[in-house]
Amino acid sequence: MALPAKGAPDIAQGFDSGGEKIFNRFNETPLAATTGTDGTRTLNTYYELRQYPGSPPRVPHDVPDSFSGDTLKCLSCHGRGGYDVTLDAYAPVTPHHEYENCFQCHVPRRTEKLFVETDWQSINPPLLGRSEMGGSPPPIPHTLQLREDCIACHTGNAAVAEIRVEHASRGNCRQCHVPMIATEPRKEFTRNK
Amino acid sequence: MKLNRRAFIKSAAAGSAIVAAGSIFPGISFAGWQQQEGASGQISWQKAPCRFCGTGCGVLVGVSGDRAVAVKGDPNCSVNKGLCCVKGFHSVQALYGKDRIKKAQVRRNGKMVEVPMTEALDLIAAKMKETIEKHGKDSVAMYGSGQWTIPDGYVASKLFKGCIGTNNVEANARLCMASAVTGFMTSFGIDEPMGCYEDIEHADVFVTWGNNMAEMHPVLFSRMLASRKRKKNVTIIDFATRTTRSSQAADKSILFKPSTDLAVANAICYEIIRNDWVNWDFVKKHTTFHKGKTNIGYGTEDHFSFTDVPEDISFEQYKTFLADYTPEKVEKISGVSAKDIKYMASLYGDPTKKVMSFWCMGMNQHVRGTWIQNLVYNIHLLTGKISTPGNSPFSLTGQPSACGTVREVGTLTHALPHGVVMNEHDREMAAKIWDVPVTNIDPKPTYHTVEMFRALDRGDIRFMWIQVTNPMVTMPNLNRYRNGALKDDRFIVVSDVYPTPTTAVADVILPATLWVEQEGMFGNSERRTQHFDRIVPGPGDTMSDTWQIIEVARRLGFQKQFPWGEDEYIGKIWEEYRRFHDSPKHNMASYEMLKERSGVQWPFVNGKETRWRFNTKHDPACKPGTDFDFYGKKDGKAWIWARPYEPAAESPDQEYNFWLNTGRVIEHWHTGSMTRRIPVLHNAMPESYVEINPEDAADLGVVNGEKVKIISRRGSVTMKASINGRGVPPRGMVFVPFFDESYLINEVTLDAFCPISKQPDYKKCAVRLEKV
């Protein structure tokens, strides 16, 4: 199930790259769920499902043909995460649970074959651990568009091992981590004279 | 192996704080994509409208070196606000199929041979001259597309209508949007929606008429769902002939029998009047009542012609006409219960609710396509729910520039960039801007699309140039038109990006640039013009469709009309074209502004976009001192039409006992020539299928995946059955997606069309099924 919107009543929504979502998610997720480390996902399996850094991943597991627009079925696992017995895996949590037409962007794979071969290429995924100084908090290497909810992807059993944080008990991620998009040219400060 | 981050870092020799993800597991590369060699790992982003449907989502194309390598939704584009669908997110992969056409080819002794571009262009010009000399100017034709950029369509019209002097210019949007246009013209006298997508956030009720938006316009559908979630009191009604993803997401699904939407729409109006939900102030001030001919035919015979004769009627006459459409009577025709009809009427009739109606191919590809548009407008006009935020009858488009190029530029046989060829003033305006003698422009339209392909079959047309479309998959009753194209002494030129069943019938193939390999503009469903730059170079000898036409025009001696240089032609063409629309009713933004913004809506007047036309508060073209001004019609009124229910051209009978309905799926766009070359999309939807109702399948003895032969009076196709799959047709109907060139369902469909719009009906013909 999707998270209810919980911010202070009567405030504007959707500003600061949906920053409210982080607080809601932190509030709603039991500590045990954010600190779990039993998952098996790695960056390798993460990128196998994608066509370029930031593309919507394919659905890696079987979904019945009749499985269609009933979003509760997707969000029952991917809304809050948790262990799935049939797949023996922890379900990754979506960072954009407010969108309910899941198959709009995520499709399964019914064949391995291609219609014709492709010349598609893309860039390397962003580098990890780019702390500016030894031990300083690394910046956020990706855009926040559709990925505003840090806690969804970076904590808990379903988090990709390489990007899982070890201080999930803190709920104000962007207090220390700021976006510095690794795949875009870096803008240095120059003084207007 | 369970991994936590600490164990993981220990195992991955992490000597440096900077670890490239790709080097974390030495020897293993990520399977998702091939990594670009020597790339900086950095992307620059440039805006473009999406290449696919008519929604017109803004995308940002990520470029590394000279390649497009990523996509994200453009947060500055008000259409989609940063969200795309699975096609848009993977759209750039359509550029990189290995079988991309990179060289010109000509047919020699039955075989296609690669030649230099200049040789192919010389041959095309020579063949056109020769054909015109032998058979007259109306023996050469251009068949274009709602995927043409605006400059593509503009130069095609200028060359054929202005210079050569033939009205043989049509576009595939005839198969897609023609009924929408004639609907607007008959009800309002001016084309394209009065409202805009912002209506979605204002509306309380959505009724989708034969329109599976969850798959076909998913970004707008999501916008609707988001609004329902936020506002809590929003109702979505899926009114359709088949159960789909949109039905699953709707609050209520109501199924009607094919073609009976006409009867239901009239019944809704009957109820609105019976309950006195009429907005009398609006109706008296802003509407007039009319009727036209009835029993208007289906156009299945060659040389079919029809002209409607409108007559004025009174409100009382209209009310008498509606007496045949009581909910109880219509229940018997339509299969929709009187209760559901009354419910729909009550939603439209409730003065406290703002209502949006959405439709696309269900109402357009309809042998009474113009009528059903009129009838849905009637509902909105009787209740005065139009041209105000949230009250919006909204005709969606299927192609990225069906509006921009075909409807606004007028690349249809009767049309000009402003007005129609039949009108002397419009011809004079075109001749002046085009710098051609006015006598060049023929005042008589020639062939609409179906008749144009019939003329090719008959031999009245001998030369056809096809750009950016795939008619050898999409023409209804396809066998006839393919055989026609293959006849001796027919010369077919095809400009495309990949081999298709249409390039298979070509005598010359020109390699075209695709989407962001060229500069251009599209125009989307909500009157938004969207510019894109040439973001990456096209491969090999590829050339933009606009430039191909310019090259041929110059070879035909029209240098004066096509004088532009290759580095400036798009901007120059835009500024020339814009002169046609220089009035508050249609003013368009400057080239510079289009380059800057993620789309600009017309009418663009005094630096402001017009979001709600005909509403004096929002539309500067309205007469001051009134609340609404339907200035498209000479009487300043919107027209309410008495249009009866008439059945489809071919309905199921004893022998052919099923309806055949055709359409799309979310993964593929049109004939799949682009989307099937996108790995994610092909992997998810590798082939077409026939949806059968589970009970019909049981009667046939067919289980899921077994082969079924679909047979009509025109052809047959054998494909796998899909039972309880993506969609579920009612008993007595089958549904087939048309994207798959291996299963040409259009060999089975019927070339009947709406006599007013001449748009074929791909949703209704009779077939029988055989288990194979």
Task: Give A60-83 pLDDT, tens digit per residue.
Answer: 998 876 655 555 688 889 999 999
Q: Tell me, what's the pLDDT at B37?
A: 80
A interface mutation test: which of B5, B25, B33, B692 has the most A CBs within 10 A?
A: B33
Q: Tell me, what's the pLDDT at A71?
A: 55
Mean pLDDT of A121-148: 86
Q: A142 and chain B: CB distance < 8 Å anywhere? A: no
Q: Least CA distance to A71: which residue of chain B?
A: B249
pLDDT(B12) > 90: no
CA pair distance B320, B572, nearest whole angstrom: 55
Mean pLDDT of B234-263: 96
Domain boundaries defined on chain B: 104-171+401-554, 178-398, 658-771
Q: Tell me, what's the pLDDT at A12?
A: 77
Length of chain B: 772
Q: A45 and chain B: CB distance < 8 Å anywhere? A: no
Mean pLDDT of A92-97: 94
For residues B344 and B237, is the Cβ–Cβ distance under 8 A?
yes
Query: What Rg, from alpha-carbon coordinates, does chain A have?
Result: 18
| Minimal Cβ distance to B67: which of A116, A117, A121 | A121
Q: Which residues of A touch B250 (CB under 8 A)?
A: none
For residues B212 and B663, is the Cβ–Cβ distance under 8 A?
yes
For residues A58 and B21, is the Cβ–Cβ distance under 8 A?
no
Mean pLDDT of B74-95: 96
Relative to beta strand B235-240, strand B205-209 is parallel
pLDDT(B14) > 60: no
Q: Tell me, what's the pLDDT at B4?
A: 54
Q: CATH second-level architecture of B658-771?
A: Beta Barrel (2.40)
pLDDT(A26) > 50: yes
Q: Does B43 sit within 8 Å of A101, measured CB to CB?
A: no
CA pair distance B477, B463, nearest whole angstrom: 21
Q: Which residues of B touch A49 (CB under 8 A)?
A: 32
> How many Cβ atoms are within 10 Å of B620's Cβ, its own excluded?
14
Task: Give A103-120 pLDDT, tens digit per residue.
Answer: 899 999 999 999 999 999
Q: Which residues of B touch A103 (CB under 8 A)?
A: 86, 245, 666
Q: Does A129 sit within 8 Å of B17, measured CB to CB?
A: yes
Task: Give B153-179 pLDDT, tens digit per residue.
Answer: 999 999 999 999 999 999 999 999 999
pLDDT above 70 covers a percentage of chain B that reads 96
Task: Write a three-state SS string for B391-422.
Answer: EEEEECCCCCCHHHHHHHCCCCCCECCCCECC
CA pair distance B61, B78, nearest whole angstrom: 17
Q: Tell me, what's the pLDDT at B369?
A: 98
Q: Which residues of B touch A101 (CB under 8 A)?
A: 214, 218, 221-222, 225, 249
Q: With cut-offs at 50, 70 and 90, classify the pLDDT of residue A22.
A: confident
For residues A1 and A76, is the Cβ–Cβ distance under 8 A?
yes
| Minimal Cβ distance to B32: which of A49, A103, A184 | A49
A interface mutation test: which of B50, B683, B722 has the most A CBs within 10 A?
A: B683
| Minimal Cβ distance to B98: which of A39, A113, A119 | A119
Please tell me the CATH code under which domain B178-398 is placed. 3.40.228.10
The beta-carbon contacts of B296-300 under 8 Å, at least 24 apart in sequence, are B296/B646, B296/B755, B296/B756, B297/B755, B298/B367, B298/B649, B298/B752, B298/B753, B298/B755, B299/B450, B299/B751, B299/B752, B299/B753, B299/B754, B299/B755, B299/B758, B300/B649, B300/B750, B300/B751, B300/B752
DSSP label at residue B703: -
**Cβ-based contacts under 8 A for chains A and B:** 244
Does A138 sit behind a cis peptide bond, omega within 30 degrees of 0 on the bond before it? no
- C-alpha distances in Å from residue B729, one per residue of B243, B313, B658: 6, 39, 11
Q: B30 and chain A: CB distance < 8 Å anywhere? A: yes
Q: Tell me, what's the pLDDT at A3?
A: 57
Q: Tell me, what's the pLDDT at A70?
A: 59
Which of B633, B647, B725 shows the shortest CA–CA distance to B687? Answer: B725
Which of B530, B529, B527 shows the shortest CA–CA distance to B614? Answer: B527
| Minimal Cβ distance to B42: which of A100, A111, A184 | A184
Q: Does B39 sit within 8 Å of A103, measured CB to CB?
A: no
Q: Does A65 sit within 8 Å of B677, measured CB to CB?
A: no
pLDDT(B239) > 90: yes
Task: Give B614-648 pLDDT, tens digit per residue.
Answer: 999 999 999 999 999 999 999 999 999 999 999 99
ipTM summary value: 0.86
Block residue for tokens 């099937």: B676
Q: B64 and chain A: CB distance < 8 Å anywhere? A: yes
| Minimal Cβ distance to A65: which of B1, B683, B724 | B724
| Minimal Cβ distance to A65: which of B93, B222, B725 | B725
How many angstroms away from the CA of B68 is the closest CA of chain A?
A: 8
The residues facing B111 across adjacent strands are B108
Instruction: Work out the angle between the directed axes of helices B338-349 and B261-274 (0-180°, nearest 10).
Output: 60
Q: With cut-offs at 50, 70 and 90, classify the pLDDT of residue A6.
A: low
Helix, strand or coil for residue B700? helix
Q: Least CA distance to A72: which residue of chain B?
A: B249
Q: Does B686 sit within 8 Å of A104, measured CB to CB?
A: no
For residues B160 and B142, is the Cβ–Cβ distance under 8 A?
yes
Q: Tell me, what's the pLDDT at A4?
A: 55
Q: Which residues of B touch A72 (CB under 8 A)?
A: none
Q: Does A166 sit within 8 Å of B248, measured CB to CB?
A: no
Q: Does A116 sit within 8 Å of B98, measured CB to CB?
A: yes
Q: A48 and chain B: CB distance < 8 Å anywhere? A: yes
- C-alpha distances in Å from residue B316, one per residue of B288, B398, B531, B733: 12, 38, 49, 39
Q: Tell me, what's the pLDDT at B236?
A: 97
Alpha helices in B189-307 (DSSP H): 199-202, 213-216, 218-231, 245-249, 261-274, 280-286
What average pLDDT does chain B have? 95
Chain B 684-703, residues with CB within 8 Å of chain A CB atoms:
684-686
Q: Does A124 sit within 8 Å of B39, measured CB to CB?
A: yes
Q: Does A117 sit within 8 Å of B98, measured CB to CB?
A: yes
Q: Does A56 sit within 8 Å of B43, measured CB to CB?
A: no
Which of B607, B612, B615, B605 shows the shortest CA–CA distance to B585? Answer: B605
CA pair distance B449, B444, nearest whole angstrom: 16
> Where is average pLDDT lowest: A70-84, B506-520, B738-752?
A70-84
pLDDT(A123) > 80: yes
Task: Give B548-571 pLDDT, tens digit per residue.
Answer: 999 999 999 999 999 999 999 999
Q: Which residues of A touch B226 (CB under 8 A)?
A: 98-99
CA pair distance B22, B37, nearest whole angstrom: 13
Query: What Rg, from alpha-carbon coordinates, does chain B have?
Result: 26
How many angstroms away from the CA of B725 is the closest CA of chain A?
A: 4
CA pair distance B101, B512, nearest whole angstrom: 8
B104-171+401-554 CATH pick, 3.50.50.60, 3.30.70.20, 3.40.50.740, 3.30.200.20: 3.40.50.740
Q: With cut-offs at 50, 70 and 90, classify the pLDDT of residue B459.
A: very high
Q: Does B245 sit within 8 Å of A103, measured CB to CB?
A: yes
Task: Give B421-448 pLDDT, tens digit per residue.
Answer: 999 999 999 999 999 999 999 999 999 9
Mean pLDDT of B39-66: 93
How many angstroms away from the CA of A111 is the closest CA of chain B?
A: 5
Just list the catalytic residues of B: 87, 176-177, 361, 398-399
Q: A17 and chain B: CB distance < 8 Å anywhere? A: no
> Where is average pLDDT lowest: A135-144, B505-514, B565-574, B689-698?
A135-144
Which of B379, B150, B365 shows the shortest CA–CA distance to B267? Answer: B379
Kindly state the tokens that stand for B91: 């759209």
Q: Does B30 sit within 8 Å of A47, measured CB to CB?
A: yes
Positive or negative torsion for Cα B582, B584, B586, B588: positive
Q: Tell me, what's the pLDDT at B21?
A: 42
How many angstroms away from the CA of A81 is the closest CA of chain B?
A: 18
